[in-house]
Amino acid sequence: MTSTSAPRAPFNRLLLTGAAGGLGKVLRERMRPYANVLRLSDIAALAPAVDDREEIVPCDLADKHAVHQLVEGVDAILHFGGVSVERPFEEILGANICGVFHIYEAARRHGVKRVIFASSNHVIGFYKQDEPLDASCARRPDGYYGLSKSYGEDMASFYFDRYGIETVSIRIGSSFPEPQNRRMMHTWLSFDDLTQLLERALYTPNVGHTVVYGMSANKDVWWDNRFASHLGFEAKDSSEVFREKVEAQPMPAADDPARIYQGGAFVAAGPFGD
């Protein structure tokens, strides 16, 4: 299924970091209508520009000077780049922690007024699956990766309070073509719903720093988006259509973190390097 919603007036130039990644490849297509020029960046190899409405700018987010150059001339930033799973702290540090600082500092220096930050459900991963949450809950990161996203959300909050740069931090659940396991029946975010959420995040005025849970209209959800209602995001898809396929998989044991914690297996990753 592809999105059918008509885009608003496009931005002149949007930056998409993480453009070579799983979501980046999807958004490279989906975000085209929203920008006259889409600047695509990653540390990994990117397919060449298909036309003059794409710009390919390789960049390591850990390199402050390179990120400063990357951000010049853009109107808004979709920050999807970085380490996207639990890894040793030293790997997370450059890409995610220094990286998010470099993005905001470059945004400040170049006058960029809107960032969409790909945060993650792993900022609240240590809550149990029977604990309903909204955006006012204390964060309970489930690893160094979740900590880095938590830091990114605080960075967004600070840059709004201090410099007026607005951010929508999307605590993405699980955005894949299909839910891959029982946990993702709760956390799944379809690509169409992600696209709609990004449109709302880009165009809604006066978002300040808004935290929104990125999930489709799944049957049993753990998260309440009452504090992001001004975005007008209305998910259209549901994991329910995949239930039979997903439930054909064996049920995890009762003590498996995948059945207990919102962050699933991430809560048990590491320690590293012992």
> In the complex with ligand NAI, which residue's Cβ is closer, 42 or 253?
42
Q: Which of 191, 237, 236, 196 is nearest to 6 (CA)?
A: 196
DSSP 3-state of 165 = coil
Question: Do the Cβ atoms of 20 and 54 come closer than 8 Å?
Answer: no
145 as an active site residue: the answer is yes
Site for ligand 15L in 127-186 (CB under 6 A): 174, 184
Rule CB under 6 A: choose which of 120, 195, 218, 238 binds ligand NAI: 120
3-class SS string, 104-118: HHHHHHHCCCEEEEE
From residue 41 to residue 70, the character string flagging contacts with ligand NAI as x (rule: CB under 6 A) and all else as - is -xxx--------------xxxx--------
- The whole-angstrom separation of Cα 65 and Cα 43 is 14
In the set 127, 144, 145, 159, the catalytic residue is 145
Q: Nearest approach, Cβ of 232 to ligand NAI (angstroms)? A: 22
E-strand spans in 3-73?
11-17, 35-41, 54-56
Q: Which of 237, 103, 227, 114 is nearest to 173 (CA)?
A: 237
Max Cα–Cα distance, the chain, nearest Å: 54
187 binds, among ligand 15L, ligand NAI, none (CB under 5 to 8 A by kind): ligand 15L
Which region among 43-51, 53-61, 118-126, 214-222 touches ligand 15L (by CB under 6 A)?
118-126
Site for ligand NAI in 166-195 (CB under 6 A): 172, 174-176
- The whole-angstrom separation of Cα 73 and Cα 56 is 14
Q: Nearest approach, Cβ of 2 to ligand NAI (angstroms)? A: 18
- The whole-angstrom separation of Cα 255 and Cα 268 is 12
Which region among 27-35, 99-107, 120-128, 230-238 touches ligand 15L (by CB under 6 A)?
120-128
> In the complex with ligand NAI, which residue's Cβ is closer, 10 or 18?
18
Q: Which of 147, 186, 148 is nearest to 264 (CA)?
A: 186
Q: Which of 10, 7, 13 is nearest to 38 (CA)?
A: 13
62 binds, among ligand NAI, ligand 15L, none (CB under 5 to 8 A by kind): ligand NAI
Cα 30 to chain centroid distance, Å, stands at: 15
Question: Is residue 144 a contact point for ligand NAI (CB under 6 A)?
Answer: no
From residue 77 to residue 116, the character string flagging contacts with ligand NAI as x (rule: CB under 6 A) and all else as - is ---xxxxx---------xx---x-----------------
Q: Which residues bind ligand NAI (CB under 6 A)?
A: 18, 20-24, 42-44, 59-62, 80-84, 94-95, 99, 118, 120, 172, 174-176
Active site residues: 145
